[in-house]
Amino acid sequence: MKTVRCHDFPLSPDIIQLNHASYGLASHEVLEAAERLRVHIESDPTRYLGAELTENLRTQAGLAATALDLDGDRTTLCSNATSGAAAIIASLPLGPGDTVVVLDTEYSSIHRAWEIACARSGARCLTVPVPLPFIDFESLSVTLDGSVPDSVTYLQASLISSSTAIRLPIADLSAWARLRGGRLILDAAHGPGHVELEPTDGIVAAAFGTLHKWLPAARSVGFLWLAPQLIDIVRPAEVSLTWDSSDLIERFSWPGTFDPVPRLCLGVALRQWQRWHTTGRLAGCEKLADYASEVLTGPRARPTAGQRYLPPRMRSFILDGVTVAEVKAALLESGIRAWVGPGSNEECLLRISTHIYNENADIDLLAEKLQEVLPR
């Protein structure tokens, strides 16, 4: 199989990892720091999980906000993107006269959370299909206008869609929502460490995301960003001891007894990520993703988006004439780890992500295996 050629991660040499986008991967450097910190906490948990924890979390939240170019007073850490989304969706006031629009490229659990919230409140939840391949906003705008006849309260969209790996035009989507009297809620799970975030006043009402996907952080840690008018409204989904706090950091600092180490090691992960960025290693990953688009695209493997809407290190393809089960079996047998699953119309999607442990040979082997399984 493979030979070890990247010492930053504890990956097995027997696999080709092209599924970084699903779970991320903590580096050796972060894992070692995390283990030292866990031993430190266990030496006096009353102290380190008590009086000192909130301020230590505040420090790490500040580091993350600075790295992501977010306002620190409106940014807090949480367990993951799902917990951040749950806090927002459960807190926003909805009623029978409200409409929530969710793109069908949204992550399934986020979509389901909005459905549940709307069912409880009597609000309307509309799912709008995103045309694939995604070529321009104008086509989506026509679909939105045809699917949503009147005003909206919130539009749920992703900075980068998960399964389809589309870098959506957030400013255009926000403008469409504002014209209908609504605001955009941003899923930025695939943003931090990958692309610049876009939660600025007037564009996004709230944003949530994951920090352990594209940063070499320990699992799991996420973030939450709120527009000023939502800071006092959004509360954690779990009612814990700090739920009533007026301080955003403190409010999310104690979701019951939990492992704070992934949050407390963010500074280590951010410094390592910055070194990769400065030395050009991440730019190399972007070139590899472009190479993947070139090599994998064919009559039976179509990119889900035009060049303008491709994320730097994620690519997704519509595979024609083959089932999800067939592709999964072929890749599993070959030791290739990639995401394969159904699209919203039950088409077979293949998504890959490139990282510093990948090389051209990984993409070449994937292309070879796809040629074997795709009909000629």
Strand-pairing partners, residue 210, are 222
* Torsion, CA 62, CA 64, CA 67, CA 68, rounded to 10: -110
Q: What is the pTM of this model?
A: 0.95
Question: Cβ distance 6 to 16 under 8 Å?
Answer: no
Supply 342's token pair.
């159904």
Question: Cβ distance 152 to 99 under 8 Å?
Answer: yes
Q: Where in the chain is the domain with CATH 3.40.640.10?
A: 33-270
Residues 6+ apart with CB under 8 A from 202: 174
Q: Where in the chain is the domain with CATH 3.90.1150.10?
A: 280-373
Q: Residue 1: what pLDDT?
A: 46
3-state secondary structure of 20: helix
* CA 267/CA 58 separation, integer angstroms: 12
CATH class entry, domain 280-373: alpha beta
Phi, psi of 91 (to 5 degrees): -95, -30
pLDDT by residue for the chain (376 residues), tens digit each?
A: 444 457 899 999 999 999 999 999 999 999 999 999 999 999 999 999 998 999 999 999 999 999 999 999 999 999 999 999 999 999 999 999 999 999 999 999 999 999 999 999 999 999 999 999 999 999 999 999 999 989 999 999 999 999 999 999 999 999 999 999 999 999 999 999 999 987 666 789 999 999 999 999 999 999 999 999 999 999 999 999 999 999 999 999 999 999 999 999 999 999 999 999 999 999 999 999 999 999 999 999 999 999 999 999 999 999 999 999 999 999 999 999 999 999 988 999 999 999 999 999 999 999 999 999 999 8
Question: Cβ distance 274 to 334 under 8 Å?
Answer: no
- Domain 33-270 annotated CATH 3.40.640.10: yes
Q: Residue 5: what pLDDT?
A: 54
The single residue listed with the structure tokens 């927002």 is: 88
Q: Residue 3: what pLDDT?
A: 44
Question: Cβ distance 319 to 277 under 8 Å?
Answer: no
